[in-house]
Amino acid sequence: MNLAYGPLQRFLFSHHFYSGVRRAAGILLPIALLGGVFGWYASGLIATFGALCVAFIDQPGPHEHRAREMLGGTVLSTLTVTLTGLASSDPLLSSVVVMGQCFAFSMLAVYGKKGGQIGFACLLLMTVTLHNALSTQEVWVHALTSLGGGLFYTLFSYSVSRVMQLREKEQALSVALFATADYIARRADMYDLDRDLDESYRKLIVCQADMTDKHQAARDMVLRGLATPKAQSDSNRVMLWNLFVEMIALLDLLVATRTDYAFLRQKLAGADALLFMRDALHKMAGDLERIALALARENTATQRSSVKAELRALEFEIHQMHTDGVAQRDPELYALCVEILRRLRNSAKVIDRMIVATQRNRDAQLLDTVKIDRSLTQFLSRQQFRPRLITSNLRLDSPFCRYALRVTLAAGIALALSALIPALARQGYWILLTVLIIMKPGFALTRQRNGWRLLGTLVGCGLAFALLYTTQHETWLFAAMVLSTIIGGSLLQINYLVASIFNTNAVLLAFNFLDPGATTIITDRAVDTLLGSVIAFACSYVLPWWEAQFMPSLMRAAISANREYLRAALAQIQAREAHASESEVKRADFNLRLARKNVYVALANFAEAFYRMMLEPKSRQWHVIELSNIVTQNHMLSSQISAVTTVLMSSPSIPQTSIEFLSALLPQLLPAPEHPTPPVPKSLLDGTFPELTYPLKQLQRSIALINTEIEVIYDGAQVNLGAAETVAAQGR
């Protein structure tokens, strides 16, 4: 990857590292104050664990949402401590309470990522409370102390976020810009003849899914609160908005030029044009990284490379193609190369404007791409914690219910193991903790997390042993514990393996401070983790929910999103052709942007689930070749919709036949096999609109291929995708 900056700088100036420092400070301050100032180390540790659990919920995002989630997690975790503590003196009752909470909190996964984080935080505090049996009086003291730690962390984190809210927005946008740079670099690889095309395309789709997630996180931060006059007059907020708009515009330009790379490679195998396309994209990726890093460091970006040479060289190659008669012999190839050159030029201009935007000019104005008002909330993530969502999933055919039952079974085995084997009784809670950390709703995620957790714990144990063997100086050990806490918390969402190493090291060093005389704690942790990993792996085969079972619904969602994108594009084109009012045109443009955002999200979900399925046993994979083609063609389809829309909207006049053709294509995305895919009208292929030839043919081809693969999946039956899930279930 030809990128300008290494991962270290990206990490140090990212919101991941900033959040890790904030979380570490909020976690360690209770024990530092209560223990260091008043000498109440036991109470300080309890408060710290209360803060730790809330810190798991405190992930990057809008601080208003985080505050509500942290308060909810604090209340639930305090209830968890109370129930677990009251039952701790009775082994049988304790087991029932623990398993009941495992099921209940695992069901919170129905609320998505945030629900899973809250559920895990409560289960973590439940596991820590099992460390010692508590009397009734101790339970209330323990619960109140834990509540104080959670409330302290919530107040601390919210206060810091309020003060640093602009900084958090800059960091979120910086991460999105870095992800966009990675995506551009992956697109450059598609033009490299030395790279395998299928592997490059797989990496491109995975990268686009990651970029979509980062873009949504930036959207949630940058757009929130922008509708107020005060925000729109703030030069820093104006810069963030303009950079975000330009980033999306850059993405639109690049996506709209997605091509049949096999066709392009075949036709230009002996020419230098592909090299110039590749090098231009790599330089743009480097410039975008510099913009991202400058934003994270609150500096002004500088352009250290120019794509002028590559663009001029590509222009010369295209001129030679015209001179040699390629435009007449192969008009599709020539038109495609011209379109790529045009898009690269426009992309370079966008990046130049982004570099200027980082200067934070006080006279800068908001880019008037969409109306900035309350309607922007439609682009933001929404999270509703409705109780009905849990009750409606309390059935055996629900993947979340199955997951909760697996976790409950694994927890029961861990408790039974520690009860039946005296040597494991003292540290049995660590086995349970390992099980809860590893187990995830999907088989592939559980297996992946299992390996990372086991290896990370073993390496972390080795690191802790090396530190304790090297020095007994408390200051150095405490510094190592703080550093490990920061790094472990920062990498939790980036690299779970490395995060496990540092988190294990931090916990072992903390236990060393509590019990300096313990000599087997490191060995105990390694053995407990190994046992927990075996239990989690074995239980992952109980009532499994394979990714293949999600494929029909995700496939339908991706195709439906593309259908709505095409419908929105057609509405915008018709509004332009009918000379609609300004408000109607703006509304059509807004709907198109919203539909495009929804397409990216749906395609990302579909692609991520497909590649997770590929990590599962082959016997549980479902129509791999067909689904792979559908993933690819859905990405091609969204790109060509964007390309056709851009060409038509920029044309002096819009041919009526193009509107009729796009309208005829809409029913094909249901799909409706009884209506054959219409041919591209000859009037659009007569050379009057050469830039339309390729995207229209690709649009038609992608829809036809998607329908063909669907027919193969369902044995040629003419099924509607609305019934696809039923058909898939019957096939199992």
pLDDT tops 90 at residue 408: yes
> pLDDT for 410-422, tens place per residue?
999 998 888 888 7
Sorting pLDDT into bands at 50, 70 and 90, what band is 4?
A: very low
Choose between 302 and 69: higher pLDDT.
69
Any domain includes 56:
yes
Is residue 513's pLDDT more than 60? Answer: yes
Whether residue 560 lies inside any domain: the answer is yes
pLDDT on residue 724 = 41
Mean pLDDT of 141-157: 91
Together in a domain, 152 and 252: no
Question: Per-residue pLDDT averaged across 420-448, rounded?
Answer: 79
Residue 404: its pLDDT value, please? 92
The pLDDT-based confidence of 407 (bands split at 50, 70, 90) is very high
* C-alpha to C-alpha distances, 410 to 93, 415, 437, 701, nearest whole angstrom: 17, 9, 12, 49
For residue 596, the model assigns a pLDDT of: 86
Predicted pLDDT at 231 = 63
Determine the pLDDT at residue 3. 42
**Are 608 and 696 contained in the same domain?**
yes
Give the pLDDT confidence score for residue 241 in this predicted structure: 84
Split at pLDDT 50, 70, 90, the class of 730 is very low
- pLDDT above 80: residue 514: no
- 231 against 728, higher pLDDT: 231
Q: Based on the domain organization, do 276 and 290 belong to the same domain? A: yes
Q: Are residues 649 and 553 in the same domain?
A: yes
Q: Alpha-carbon distance 66 to 620, whole Å?
A: 38
Residue type, 357: A
Residue spans of alpha helices (H) in 190-234: 197-222, 229-232
Same domain, 198 and 159: no
Mean pLDDT of 320-343: 84
Report d(CA 709, CA 628) in Å as an integer: 10
- What are the tokens at 527? 């053995």
pLDDT of residue 718: 44
On whether residue 14 sits in a domain, the answer given is yes
- Residue 385 domain-assigned? no
Dist. CA 732–CA 623, nearest whole Å: 13
Average pLDDT over residues 477-483: 84
- Which tens digit of pLDDT belongs to each residue from 239-295? 888 888 888 888 877 776 556 677 788 888 878 888 999 999 999 999 998 899 888
Is there a single domain that holds both residue 147 and residue 206? no
pLDDT of 454 strictly over 50: yes
Polymer length of the chain: 732
- Residue 524 has what pLDDT? 77
- Percent of the chain surpassing pLDDT 90: 10
| Arithmetic mean of pLDDT, 201-221 | 82
> What's the domain range around 12?
1-163
Q: Which residue has the higher pLDDT, 140 or 546?
A: 140
CB atoms within 10 A of CB 391: 11
Sign for the pseudo-dihedral over CA of 345, 243, 170, 112: negative
Higher pLDDT, 131 or 53: 53
User: Does 14 score more than 50 pLDDT?
Assistant: yes
Pick from 569, 555, 589: nearest CA to 647? 569
Alpha-carbon distance of 724 to 714, in angstroms, equals 8
Are 482 and 517 in contact by the 8 Å Cβ rule? The answer is: no
- Helix residue ranges, H only, 540-623: 551-577, 582-613
Cα(348)–Cα(485) distance, integer angstroms:
42
Q: Single out the residue of 444, 486, 536 nearest to residue 19, CA to CA.
A: 486
Same domain, 349 and 406: no
Identify the pLDDT of residue 297.
82
Percent of the chain with pLDDT over 70: 86
Higher pLDDT, 458 or 717: 458
Domain-ending residue, one of 545, 578, 599: 545
Asked if residue 395 lies in contact with residue 401, where contact means CB atoms within 8 angstroms, the answer is: yes
The single-letter code of the amino acid at 308 is: K
Residue 615 above 60 pLDDT?
A: yes
Please compute the mean of the pLDDT values over residues 24-41 and round it to a whole number: 82
Segments of 3-137 assigned E as strands: none
Residue at 77 is within a domain: yes
pLDDT of residue 380: 56
pLDDT at residue 413, as a whole number: 92
Question: Residue 189 has which token pair?
Answer: 């690889």
Q: Is residue 187 part of a domain?
A: yes
The arithmetic mean of pLDDT across residues 596-614, rounded, is 86
List, for residues 546-603, the tens digit of each pLDDT value: 888 888 889 999 999 999 999 998 888 888 777 777 778 778 888 888 888 888 888 8
262/360 same-domain check: yes
CATH of the domain at 220: 1.20.58
Q: Answer yes or no: are the C-beta atoms of 721 and 553 closer than 8 Å.
A: no
State the Cα–Cα distance between residues 287 and 317, nearest whole angstrom.
Answer: 24
Confidence at residue 725, expressed as pLDDT on a 0 to 100 scale:
43
Count the domains in the chain: 4
Residues 679 and 551 in one domain: yes
Which of 152, 130, 153 lies closest to 142, judged by CA? 130
Mean pLDDT, range 613-621, rounded to an integer: 82
pLDDT (0 to 100) of residue 103:
94
Average confidence score pLDDT of the chain: 80
Burial of residue 40, with CB atoms counted within 10 A of its CB: 0-12 exposed, 13-18 middle, 19 or more buried: middle
Alpha-carbon torsion, ordered 613, 617, 623, 626, to 10 deg: 60
Residue that terminates a domain, selected from 328, 355, 371: 371
pTM: 0.78
Which residue, 163, 197, 215, sits at the end of a domain? 163
pLDDT band at 180 (very low <50, low <70, confident <90, very high): very high
* The pLDDT of residue 304: 67
How many C-beta atoms surround the C-beta of residue 632 within 10 A? 20
Question: Which range has the worst mean pLDDT, 26-35, 160-169, 674-683?
Answer: 674-683
What is the mean pLDDT of the segment spanning 307-320? 90
- Please say if the pLDDT value at position 486 is more than 80: yes
Nearest Cα residue to 383 out of 118, 38, 625, 623: 118
If pLDDT is split at 50, 70 and 90, which confidence band does 58 have? Answer: confident
Q: Check pLDDT > 70 for residue 124.
A: yes
* pLDDT score of 517: 56
Residue 526 and residue 458 in contact, taking contact as beta carbons nearer than 8 Å = yes
- 728 pLDDT more than 50: no
Is the domain of 451 the same as that of 564? no
Residue 364 forms part of a structural domain: yes
User: Residue 383 domain-assigned?
Assistant: no
Residues 201 and 149 in one domain: no
Q: What is the pLDDT of residue 209?
A: 80
Clarify whether residues 528 and 620 are in a common domain.
no
pLDDT at 181: 92
The tens digit of pLDDT for each residue in 516-556 reads 655 567 777 778 888 888 898 898 888 888 888 888 889 99
Go through 147-162 and write b for each residue having 16 or more CB atoms within 10 A of its CB, e for each that does not: bbbbbbbbebbbebbe
Distance CA 156, CA 25 (A): 9
DSSP state of 37: I
* pLDDT value for 470: 82
Residue 459 confidence class, pLDDT cut points 50, 70, 90? confident
Q: Is residue 287 within 8 Å of residue 305, measured between CB atoms?
A: yes
Higher-confidence position of 682 and 154: 154
